[in-house]
Chains A and B, each alone.
Chain A
Amino acid sequence: MDNINNVIEFRNVVKDYGDFRLDNISFSVPEGSVCGFIGQNGAGKTTAISLLLDLINRDSGEIYLFGEPVDGKHSHLRENVGVVFDEMGFHEFLTAKQINVILKNSYKNWDEETFFDNLKKFSLPSNKPCGAFSRGMRMKLQIAAALSHSAKLLVMDEPTSGLDPIVRNEIMQIFREFEMQENHTILLSSHITGDLEKIADEVVFIDGGKIVLKGNKDDILEKHALLKCSNEDAAKISASVVVYAQPGAYGTEMLVNDAEACRRLYPGMVIEPSTLEEIMIYYVNRAKSGLL
């Protein structure tokens, strides 16, 4: 794919903290797509997002945002990026009105009217200090701000974690509306894979600082499947298609990475579609067992 069509591009990026290493990661997010960045807590999602936003220095590799390098010299690129962090980041004594004044003087494209419309839409008070907001309200406030300066890219780090299903659903609906507009791209980091399954086009799965799986979400879901069989039959399955097998007292459940081949080769066995969550769990278990 041509570089210009990739809104985000990581090329062999390394960040070493000593006790944790983001190890040579490469992936790209095409323009107009929703990319789900999945992985368990501590997998390296926040580190990668921090690198993308230039919050921390990388040790090696290259990162491109809208085709331009992220090297501390292109702060104007962030005009087009709306960011939502897992923590609010605004001082608790600030009201939405005051946040509007701060951001109005920070973004060239800040649209005050859109911001206050968003506040109304999300039922957020504009005169109340945001320290008094619930977690859901704090997230909505960040989203309201992120959507008020004509951003072309939304980068979100665990925006839905710790929220109840109703608020999560509301927030996912907001993301859908954003994504439906032309050339709008989303990078959404989460360990709640159910949310991503609903809206993601692309998936990047990171574990232990390494990219384990990346590609089109539908392709990934299509290729992977859960194969259930007896413990004796499990030995007959080709090791090349098995991601990880979990033997139990009544049989073995395994994740396979070529569902179609398995259906053809093992017609008598139960092969069920897998979810992103199951794929994530099996890959993590495989890594833990030292097979990866």
Chain B
Amino acid sequence: MKGLIVKDIFCLKKQIVTFAFIISGVVAVAVMFALSGQFGNLSTAASELAKDGFDIVPVIKTAVMFFMVLPLVCTGNIADLFVCDKDASFYKVGASLPISLHKRVLSKFLTAFVFIALGLAVDVLMSAVIAGVSDIIVYSKCVSTFISLTACMMVFVSVVIMLNYAGVPAMYSSFAPVVIAAAALIALNAKRMITAFKNDDFSSMSRVVKSIIASVETKPFLFIAAAVCTAVICYFASVYFAGRKRGVA
């Protein structure tokens, strides 16, 4: 199994270069943004706008968070591994190795999770740096947020891997989890949304969004639990799909 993970890491090598490039850019921009919000032009603009009753600190905070989330998001492009294997017809070689089907599938999940963990590590490090030089973000809240987002990424890649084993083309499998999540969110809040649009009162919607954001910041364990459950379900489903086709890498 280790061999297949090594192979996947070789396949992701190109992405790792892109990832490193994005990280360096994002770190620079996020730090500059945070420093400017604390001591520079943004800070001056914020105090002047505060006199007129406008609070732009949350906007600065959101912008910093946005840049910081990018490295984590970049780690989710796991469908590329399947494209890579398909292009090389590696499935024949992979299936002829003395590695069981369970382990072959597990290797894909582990590669994806290692890559996501790398994204989380970068984000946690960045949080420490930015929290150390400015008051724009709170380190503990930031880490909780990133852990929750990491869990979301785990759910995303697990579903992507499962869809690929189920035979969904890579170009669709990457979008499917997002579409499913959006559809689920809309379906769960359909009544509230209809009422909000009818009455032109979006306060209830705003409460939902705020509660989600609050959960992301304060209840990472909930997201982790959901991610673990999804990963386990997706793993067994992937083994089932792969077993039906057999020749998978």
Query: What residues make up the interface of A, taking CB atoms closer than 8 Å to B?
Result: 50, 53-57, 72-73, 75-79, 81, 83, 85, 87-94, 98, 101-108
Determine whether B59 belongs to the interface, using a CB cutoff of 8 Å to chain A. Answer: no
Q: Pick 14 A–B contacts, CB within 8 A, sort by A.
A: A53-B92, A57-B244, A75-B98, A75-B100, A87-B92, A89-B88, A89-B92, A89-B93, A91-B84, A93-B10, A102-B6, A105-B2, A106-B4, A108-B98
Cβ-neighbour of A55 out of B5, B88, B95 (below 8 A): B95
Contact across chains for B88 and A91 when beta carbons are under 8 A apart = yes
Least Cβ distance of A42 to chain B in Å? 18
How far is it, in angstroms, between the C-alpha of A79 and the C-alpha of B99 when the chains are bound?
Answer: 9
Question: Hey, which chain A residues are within 8 Å of B85, CB to CB?
Answer: 91
Question: Hey, which chain A residues are within 8 Å of B204, CB to CB?
Answer: none
Q: A54-B246, A55-B246 are in contact. List 15 more A-B contacts (CB 8 A).
A: A53-B92, A53-B96, A56-B247, A72-B243, A75-B101, A83-B93, A89-B88, A89-B89, A89-B93, A91-B7, A91-B84, A92-B88, A93-B13, A102-B4, A106-B2
Determine whether B90 belongs to the interface, using a CB cutoff of 8 Å to chain A. Answer: yes
Contact across chains for A107 and B98 when beta carbons are under 8 A apart = yes
Question: Hey, which chain B residues are within 8 Å of A53, CB to CB?
Answer: 92, 95-96
Closest chain B residue to A101, Cβ basis = B6
Contact across chains for A91 and B95 when beta carbons are under 8 A apart = no
Task: Give residues 82-136 of B contacting A (CB, 8 Å).
Answer: 84-85, 87-93, 95-101
How far is it, in angstroms, between the C-alpha of A108 and the C-alpha of B90 when the chains are bound?
Answer: 20
Contact across chains for B3 and A105 when beta carbons are under 8 A apart = yes
Contact across chains for B7 and A102 when beta carbons are under 8 A apart = yes
Determine whether B11 belongs to the interface, using a CB cutoff of 8 Å to chain A. Answer: yes
Closest chain A residue to B88, Cβ basis = A91
Contact across chains for A57 and B246 when beta carbons are under 8 A apart = yes
How far is it, in angstroms, between the C-alpha of A57 and the C-alpha of B242 when the chains are bound?
Answer: 11
Least Cβ distance of B243 to chain A in Å? 7
Known: A77-B98, A83-B96. A55 touches B247 (CB 8 A): yes
How far is it, in angstroms, between the C-alpha of A88 and the C-alpha of B93 when the chains are bound?
Answer: 8
Contact across chains for B3 and A104 when beta carbons are under 8 A apart = yes
Contact across chains for B96 and A106 when beta carbons are under 8 A apart = no
Contact across chains for A91 and B11 when beta carbons are under 8 A apart = yes
How far is it, in angstroms, between the C-alpha of A57 and the C-alpha of B243 when the chains are bound?
Answer: 9
A-B complex: 7 closest residue pairs judged by Cβ atoms = A106-B3, A105-B3, A55-B247, A89-B93, A105-B2, A78-B98, A91-B88
How far is it, in angstroms, between the C-alpha of A190 and the C-alpha of B227 when the chains are bound?
Answer: 49
Least Cβ distance of A263 to chain B in Å? 46
Task: Give residues 12-47 of B contacting A (CB, 8 Å).
Answer: 13
How far is it, in angstroms, between the C-alpha of A88 and the C-alpha of B4 when the chains are bound?
Answer: 17
Contact across chains for B93 and A78 when beta carbons are under 8 A apart = no
Contact across chains for B90 and A91 when beta carbons are under 8 A apart = yes
Least Cβ distance of B9 to chain A in Å? 10
Question: Hey, which chain B residues are within 8 Å of A101, CB to CB?
Answer: 3, 6
Least Cβ distance of B106 to chain A in Å? 13
Least Cβ distance of B111 to chain A in Å? 13
How far is it, in angstroms, between the C-alpha of A89 and the C-alpha of B243 when the chains are bound?
Answer: 20
Least Cβ distance of A243 to chain B in Å? 35
Known: A57-B244, A101-B6, A105-B3. A79 touches B98 (CB 8 A): yes
Least Cβ distance of B77 to chain A in Å? 17
Task: Give residues 161-180 of B contacting A (CB, 8 Å).
Answer: none
Question: Hey, which chain A residues are within 8 Å of B90, CB to CB?
Answer: 89-91
Indicate the member of A77, A79, A103 with the most B CB atoms within 10 Å: A103
Contact across chains for A102 and B95 when beta carbons are under 8 A apart = no
Least Cβ distance of B12 to chain A in Å? 11
How far is it, in angstroms, between the C-alpha of A72 and the C-alpha of B5 when the chains are bound?
Answer: 21
Known: A89-B88, A89-B92, A90-B90. A78 touches B97 (CB 8 A): yes
Question: Hey, which chain A residues are within 8 Å of B245, CB to CB?
Answer: 56
How far is it, in angstroms, between the C-alpha of A77 and the C-alpha of B99 when the chains are bound?
Answer: 10
Least Cβ distance of A214 to chain B in Å? 24
How far is it, in angstroms, between the C-alpha of A104 and the C-alpha of B6 when the chains are bound?
Answer: 10
Contact across chains for B10 and A78 when beta carbons are under 8 A apart = no
How far is it, in angstroms, between the C-alpha of A54 and the C-alpha of B4 when the chains are bound?
Answer: 18
Question: Hey, which chain B residues are within 8 Å of A98, CB to CB?
Answer: 10
Question: Hey, which chain B residues are within 8 Å of A50, CB to CB?
Answer: 247
Question: Hey, which chain B residues are within 8 Å of A85, CB to CB?
Answer: 89, 92-93
How far is it, in angstroms, between the C-alpha of A88 and the C-alpha of B247 when the chains are bound?
Answer: 16
Question: Hey, which chain B residues are within 8 Å of A105, CB to CB?
Answer: 2-3, 5-6
Least Cβ distance of A107 to chain B in Å? 6
How far is it, in angstroms, between the C-alpha of A92 and the C-alpha of B90 when the chains are bound?
Answer: 10
